[in-house]
């Protein structure tokens, strides 16, 4: 049951609606054969454009049940897999693009997950991501640290204080085009988007 959050699946679309515009910065840029990590209820599906095929993963069956309904209307092949990101059932170098939106915060082992993303991307493949991160404001960062244990319980494992961009760099990606979506103005949810390449 650790990966099952039926109440969160039922409310995720409403909860994530304020962050939906941020997805528009990265999802439409995906091309070719695409992997979406943490597909959730399929909120991103309507934003894909130049996609040959999409494979989405999520460990939560309640999320995937909702995503399958949305996937039925897409004009390209979609495969949805109930699995965590730390071990994915895909061959090395299989994907042209990987997409992660507001997911690194919840993955139990983000370093292992990003290593898997790097493995399944082809050389020169892109990772497109948008994530909320730990604040660069020391006081706000401290508040995020203090709130994270409680926030994880009510937010399906979400960490307020993960440094997403640094995690991607540490996994061996070349990170470029980093930009703040929600600028650092004493918010608990500073959001950044970026494009990264597999060397």
Query: What pLDDT, on the 0 to 100 scale, is given for residue 176?
Result: 84
147 φ/ψ angles, rounded to the nearest 5 degrees:
-85, -20
Helix axes 6-15, 61-71, angle to 10 degrees: 50
């640290």: which residue's tokens?
A: 145
Lowest mean pLDDT among 13-17, 63-67, 87-91: 13-17
Residue 87 has pLDDT above 90, yes or no: yes
Query: What pLDDT, on the 0 to 100 scale, is given for residue 8?
Result: 53
> If residue 110 lies in a helix (H) or strand (E), which one and from where to where?
helix 110-120
When pLDDT is cut at 50, 70 and 90, the band that residue 198 belongs to is very high
Query: What pLDDT, on the 0 to 100 scale, is given for residue 16?
Result: 59
Query: What pLDDT, on the 0 to 100 scale, is given for residue 12?
Result: 55
Q: Which one has a higher pLDDT value, 35 or 199?
A: 35
- Please state, rounded to an integer, the average pLDDT across all residues of the chain: 84
Residues 74, 78, 80, CA angle at the centre, nearest 5°? Answer: 125
Residue 77 has pLDDT above 60, yes or no: yes
Residues 21-46 have a mean pLDDT of: 92
Query: What pLDDT, on the 0 to 100 scale, is given for residue 89?
Result: 94
The number of angstroms, rounded, from the C-alpha of 138 to the middle of its chain's C-alpha atoms is: 25
Q: How many residues are recorded in the chain?
A: 199
Beta bridge partners of residue 34, listed in sequence order? 54, 97
């995720």: which residue's tokens?
A: 12
Q: 112, exposed or middle or buried, with CB in 10 Å at 0-12, 13-18, 19+?
A: middle
pLDDT tens-digit readout, 43-63: 999 999 999 999 999 999 998
Residue 39 has pLDDT above 60, yes or no: yes
Structure tokens at 17: 């609606």
Query: What pLDDT, on the 0 to 100 scale, is given for residue 20?
Result: 59
pLDDT tens-digit readout, 103-133: 988 898 999 999 999 999 999 999 999 987 7
Q: Which one has a higher pLDDT value, 88 or 1?
A: 88
């Amino acid at each position: 049951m650790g990966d099952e959050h039926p109440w969160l699946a039922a409310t995720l679309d409403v909860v994530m609606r304020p962050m939906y515009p941020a997805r528009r910065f990265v999802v439409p840029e995906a091309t070719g054969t695409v992997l979406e990590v943490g597909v959730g209820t399929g909120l991103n599906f309507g934003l894909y454009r130049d996609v040959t095929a999409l494979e989405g993963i999520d460990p939560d069956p309640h999320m995937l049940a909702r995503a399958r309904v949305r996937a039925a209307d897409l004009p390209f092949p979609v495969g949805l897999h109930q699995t965590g990101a730390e071990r994915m059932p895909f061959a090395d170098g299989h994907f042209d693009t990987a997409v992660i939106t507001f997911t690194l915060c919840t993955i139990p082992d983000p370093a292992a997950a990003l290593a898997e993303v790097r493995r399944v991307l082809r050389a020169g493949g892109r990772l497109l991501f948008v994530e909320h991160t730990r604040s660069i404001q020391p006081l706000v960062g401290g508040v995020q640290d203090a709130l994270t244990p409680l926030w994880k319980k009510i937010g399906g494992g979400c960490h307020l204080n993960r440094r997403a961009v640094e995690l991607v760099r540490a996994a061996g990606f070349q990170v470029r085009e980093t930009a703040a979506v929600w600028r650092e103005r004493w918010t608990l949810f500073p959001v950044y988007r970026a494009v990264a390449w597999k060397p």
